[in-house]
Structure 1
Amino acid sequence: MSFDHRPSSITVTSKPENRLLNITRFLHGRRCDESLQLAVKKVQSTFSPSIIGRIVAFLTPSFLQARHARDQDHPPQLGPTAYLNGIRGVACLVVFNCHYANYNYDIAIAWGSGGENYNFPRLPIVRLLYAGIPAVCVFFVISGYCLSYKALKLVRSRNGQDFSATMSSLIFRRGIRLYLPTTFSTFIIAWLLRMGMYEWFREHGQNKAYFTKYDPPVRLETTSMQLMHWANTVFSGFQLSNWRDPVNYDRHLWTIPLEYRSSLCLFLVLYGTARLRTFYRITTLSIIMYIMYRESRWPHLLFLSGMAIVEWDHHRGAHATNRKATRPIQHALEATLWNIVSFLGLYLLSLPFTFDRATPGYGYLTSLTPKWWSAPAPFHWHSIGSVIFVLASGHSRLWQRFFTSRIVQYFGNISYSLYIVHGAVTTIGCLWFNMLVRTVTGVEGYWGFFGFFLSYCFATPLNIWCADIFHRAIDIPSVKFAKGFEGKLMGKI
């Protein structure tokens, strides 16, 4: 009796690559044809354990990966200016807090404004946990500091050849560094618009009972129109003579063109003053800063202020390895003084945008704003406060210990990615949960705040996770691409 065509005649194998093929043979009761076998092998290769493992590893946050655990056993040595990276990370997290809270609350109102609004979160310094504009000002000062630190160090050592190479590299790579990640992010947003990912919640987002502000990007009629609009949006960021905010797919990215223009201004000043002696270089810098101040160009002023702080730090030997020891009493007095100064900067940074003359402290402070200052008054005091705080942090071991902690340094590493992705992630992935929770808890009083807090606890990890992925997938490769692209185009002078 022949058993050639019975299913039981199939040879059982434990090899993973043959299991799916055996199942197919069993179902057909005969041998698979050659095309089916090729299709099966293709499916197997696509969903092989190695591919799935790579996908899982890619989606796993970096701080949960085995490589990160090894790094924690042997953490890298932090540089003398690592605290600035921590400040940048905290500032970016504050920007996220600002934009998320702004969906549910009017966060611009000052404590005591209108004889009411005496909520604890509106108090000076406390409100900095969600004050976005002050965080941007701090970010600009730090950017000016970091971009000019190495260049000024080379200037002071009279190393003209390395200075020219450093400045050439900074100027060439700056636009790529800022715009390549945002080009990717806005392109993704454009395609998400075409897929309808923004449409299902658009009507709910306009419900004023739940949201005080909701401004998603506009979906155009056709894909070609959408992509043309996206391309024009990307290009508008490079228009140096256009001081209007570009029409953006992510309204939170309004600072990127300002940062690019301010960077070019800083590079011009660095190049123009490089051959001057220190006194004349600082004098020239002060004159240019005063011109920017009178023109109310606060972004340029903050970048140049970062350069001025670098000059001061180099002058006092802030990052020297053989610093002169000070007496314990003198050291304690200096530390206390600079900590007090840092809180003065935080107080100035706490100035809200909505206040009246009766607002304690700030009513009088805003009366001191120069009449010729054309930008909103808070930008004036936020600029001063951000410079004071960054300057004081460079003298304060207390602040530096906090900003160099591991978790704060992690936020510093993903800060640009978090800034880029949090708008789209919040709009698409978080607001539905915000509305769902507050439907249960209500939107008023303590229960309303509790519902907001629960939704915040959901939105924050989700945004951090997406920022971590974007950092590894887009941000780091963008930096490497800019450096490699420059190397391929580089010639001898």
Structure 2
Amino acid sequence: MPPIEEEKRRAFLVEDRGSDSESDNSSIWGDVEARFGRIQWAATTKAYSNLVLRRIAVFLLPSFIHHRFSPARERRSDNTSNGAKTLSPTAYLDGMRGLAAFFFSKYTSLWRLPFVRLLYSGPSMVCVFFVISGYALSLRPLQLARKRNSEAFARTTSSLVFRRFFRLYLPPVISTLGVALLLRWGAYEGTREFIKDRTFTKNVIEHHPVRLDSLSAQLTHWGHEMWAFLHIWSWANHAGSTQYDVHLWTIPLEFRCSMVLFLILIGTARLRDNVRLVVVGLLSWFVLRNDRWEMLLFLAGMTIADLDLRRNAHNGHEGRGNTAGSSSPQPTLQLPLDEKTKPILPASQERSTSDSFWTLVSIFALYLLSCPDAGPWDVPGWRYLGTLIPTWFTEKYRFWQVVGACLFYLGHLSYAVYLMHGPVTHVLGYPVQRWAWGITGVEGSGFKSGVVLAAIINIPLVVWAADIFWRAVDIPSVRFAKWLESKLSV
């Protein structure tokens, strides 16, 4: 073969092999890319799944430890650049209101002695809760009214009025919907007969919600209950109670009292300080004489807030939540325990006198708060006080509890504890109680020992569920109300 032809043939073969090689390479790389794409998709899916599962796990942890697993989120949620959160003027009430909500959730008694019984006395804590609500709602408007800042007062009060409905009603609507779904899933059936057994339930038999035949029937019934729950105009006792959580009877009362309180704040905003105290005092007598103890407690909270502002109880407290190195400490308003330190008398003498007086007042108030829920007439130490209860006061056992709450006022989880303790008790609490009594027995001291044993488990369960509800529902409800107000306001 001539050299030229041989060269052409070789060139053709090389070109042909190159073409085949490119085709083969293209096929191989296409396969690799496809496989890599599948691997990458699988890896991405796994990463997102792990992230979702991790966030769910972190969310289910109690809030006081879950920030350790999500520091970035905590840093973003802080109100200050150095990581310290700014407290509101009523932040110090959170603890006491939380305790009040927790004690209100107790469903059985251990001891009946004064002071000790406050560890489980629900009605007494309702009174404390209402005083705190009156205080917390009144403090900021009263501050602005005293400064004669009409524009800020109007804006603040308008915001409180607008957001109050969502703050009070949105979380219980969601919690009771959860109860309706749990009913249909059979979560309440395991304890339905147990709570009717007088061997175990020696006090009030709590209402167990009715399970209907279908989900649509259950949700329709829940809708009717919620419509009745929104009806705030009935003055009958426990009128706002819903079958899906009988403990929610206080919500319509609190909403109604809040609206009246806002009206009184607006009506007295331009009065002189002393005149306002007199007017609110007369209104307090009026509502008490008309048997509206709940409104009296709100007005008591308003009066205490006004008196605190008059004596500058919230001034001069520097924030203690700031880290070292902060350029300008953020002022926070703490519980006013050290306001009486002006050197009119020797400091130690003045502090000792004032502390002794308020300690005695607090002890007396706690004693009044300990009034037996069944009434004081046949109880040693209470018979005489029982004779002093006015005849026109309907819920007579509550009279001295109301007086005690007015004398002794001191919540994030408070509302959530209140909403969650009923469902948690029915679904998990009663089975734990039945298990505990199965170990201790119900005769003699065994009954109380079973209550204590169950409480060791049930109390953390309620707090855990309340913590989740607080972050999942309560906080978003507050944010929703603020967002909606911002969208609808001028």
> Pick from 207, 219, 228: which aligns with 1:215?
207
Match of 1:170 in 2: 160
Structure 1 residue 130: Cα displacement: 0.3
Equivalent position of 1:461 in the other structure: 460
CA offset at residue 151 of structure 1? 0.1
The letter for the 2-side match of 1:362 is: W
Aligned-partner residue type, residue 296 of structure 1: D
Q: Tell me, what secondary structure is at the counterpart of 1:240?
A: coil
Deviation at 1:62, TM superposition (A): 1.3
Q: Distance in 2 between matches of 1:418 and 1:358?
A: 33
Check the 8 A contact 1:153/1:314 in 2, yes or no.
Answer: yes
Alignment partners' CA distance in 1, 2:273 and 2:387: 36
Q: Which residue number in structure 2 is paired with residue 91 of structure 1?
A: 100
Letter in 1 for 2:259: L
Work out whether residues 375 and 396 of structure 2, in 8 Å CA contact, stay in contact via their aligned partners in 1.
no
1:90-114 CA distances to partner (integer Å, 9 max, x unpaired)? Answer: 1112112x22x2xxxxx4xxxxxxx
Give the count of matched residue pairs: 421
Contact 1:17 1:44 in 2 (8 A): no
Query: Please, which moves more after superposition, 412-421 or 481-490?
Result: 412-421
Instruction: Report which stretch shifted further, 45-54 or 299-308.
Output: 45-54
The one-letter code of the counterpart of 2:448 is: F
Corresponding residue for 1:54? Answer: 55
Call closer, same or farther: CA 1:378–1:48 in 2, change over 3 Å. same
Secondary structure of 1:371's aligned partner? coil
CA separation of 1:240 and 1:77: change in aligned 2, threshold 3 A: closer
Match of 2:308 in 1: 313
Provide the C-alpha distance between the structure 2 equivalents of 1:199 and 1:328, rounded to a whole number of angstroms: 62
| Structure 1: distance between partners of 2:364 and 2:83 | 37
Structure 2 counterpart SS, 1:56: helix
Pairing 1:63–2:64 present: yes
**Does the aligned pair in 1 maintain the 2:58–2:69 contact within 8 Å?**
no
SS in 1 for 2:465: helix
What pairs up with 1:406-421 in 2 under 5 angstroms? Answer: 412-421=411-420
Deviation at 1:18, TM superposition (A): 3.9
1:267 alignment partner in structure 2: 262
Q: Which residue of 2 aligns with 1:448?
A: 447
Q: CA deviation at 1:425?
A: 0.8
Q: TM-score, normalised by structure 1?
A: 0.80
2:254 partner amino acid: E
Q: Tell me: CA distance 1:445–1:267, structure 2 relative to 1, closer, same or farther (3 Å).
A: same
Mapped contact 2:373–2:398 kept (Cα < 8 A) = no
Q: Does 1:340 align with 2:349?
A: no
- Where does residue 115 of structure 1 map in the other structure? none
* Aligned residue number for residue 370 of structure 1: 390
SS at structure 2 position matched to 1:430: helix
CA change 1:436–1:338 in 2 (3 A) is same
Distance 1:140 1:356, change over 3 A: closer
Separation in 2 of the partners of 1:75 and 1:16? 45
Q: Percent identity?
A: 40
Offset of 1:328 from its aligned partner? 1.9
- 1:122 aligned counterpart, secondary structure: coil
2-side partners of 1:297 and 1:246: how far apart? 15
Give the TM-score taking structure 2 as reference length.
0.80
Q: Can you list the C-alpha shifts for 1:438-466, whole angstroms capped at 9, x where unaligned?
A: 12220122222222211111111111111
SS of the residue corresponding to residue 65 of structure 1 reads: helix
Does the 8 Å CA contact 1:63/1:69 hold for their aligned counterparts? no
Which residue number corresponds to residue 201 of structure 1? 191
* Aligned mates of 1:387, 1:262 — CA distance in 2: 16
CA shift, 1:53, in A, is: 1.1
Deviation at 1:229, TM superposition (A): 2.1
Please show how residues 121-200 of structure 1 align to structure 2 within 5 Å.
Answer: 121-200=111-190
Summarize the Cα distance change of 1:203–1:42 in structure 2 as closer, same or farther, 3 Å threshold. farther
- Displacement after TM superposition at 1:416 (Å): 0.7
Structure 1 pair 17–472 and aligned structure 2 pair: CA distance change class (3 A): farther
Mapped pair 1:325 → 2:342: yes
Once residues 423 and 67 of structure 1 are traced to their aligned partners in structure 2, the CA distance between those partners, rounded to angstroms, is 30
Q: Secondary structure of 1:432's match?
A: helix
Within the candidate set 364, 383, 404, 2:402 is matched to: 383
The answer on whether the counterparts of 1:94 and 1:132 sit within 8 Å (CA) in structure 2 is: yes
> In the alignment, is the contact (CA less than 8 A) between 1:94 and 1:135 conserved in 2?
yes
Provide the secondary structure at the position in 2 that maps to 1:123: coil
Which structure has the larger Rg?
2
Larger deviation: 56-65 or 216-225? Answer: 216-225
Q: 2-side partners of 1:76 and 1:269: how far apart?
A: 32
- Give distance in 2, aligned partners of 1:279 and 1:450: 54
Going from structure 1 to structure 2, the CA distance change for 1:372 and 1:206 (only over 3 Å counts) comes to: closer
Q: Secondary structure at the match of 2:408?
A: helix
Give the Cα–Cα distance (whole angstroms) in 1 for the partners of residues 276 and 269 of structure 2: 7
Q: Structure 1 residue 241: deviation in Å?
A: 1.8
**2:10 alignment counterpart:** none
Gaps of 5+ in 1: 1-9, 20-39, 102-106, 108-118, 394-411
8 Å contact from structure 1 (residues 342, 388) kept in 2: yes
Q: How far, CA to CA, are the matches of 1:46 and 1:134 in structure 2?
A: 51
CA distance in 2, matches of 1:156, 1:386: 26
Instruction: Note the alpha carbon deviations across 1:409-443, whole angstroms, 9 max, x for none.
Output: xxx42111111011001110121121122122201
Q: Structure 1 residues 69, 131: closer, same or farther in 2, change over 3 A?
A: farther
C-alpha separation between the residues in 1 aligned to 2:381 and 2:70? 48
State the partner residue of 2:275: 280
Match of 2:16 in 1: none
Mapped to 2, the partners of 1:264 and 1:205 lie a distance apart of 37
Could you say what secondary structure the match of 1:253 adopts?
Answer: helix
CA drift of 1:300 comes to: 0.7
Contact in 1 for aligned 2:241/2:248 (Cα 8 Å): no
CA positional deviation for 1:69 = 9.5
Alpha-carbon distance, 1:132 to partner: 0.5
* Cα distance, 1:187–1:259 mapped onto 2, change above 3 Å: same
Paired letter, 2:261: L
Would the aligned equivalents of 1:355 and 1:363 in 2 still touch at CA under 8 Å? no
Q: Is 1:353 the counterpart of 2:373 in the alignment?
A: yes
Q: Structure 1 residues 307 and 44 mapped into 2: Cα distance closer, same or farther (>3 Å)?
A: same
> Pairwise mapping of residues 463-482 of structure 1 onto structure 2 (< 5 A)?
463-482=462-481
Q: Distance in 1 between matches of 2:297 and 2:371?
A: 17
Distance in 2, matches of 1:168 and 1:428, equals 40
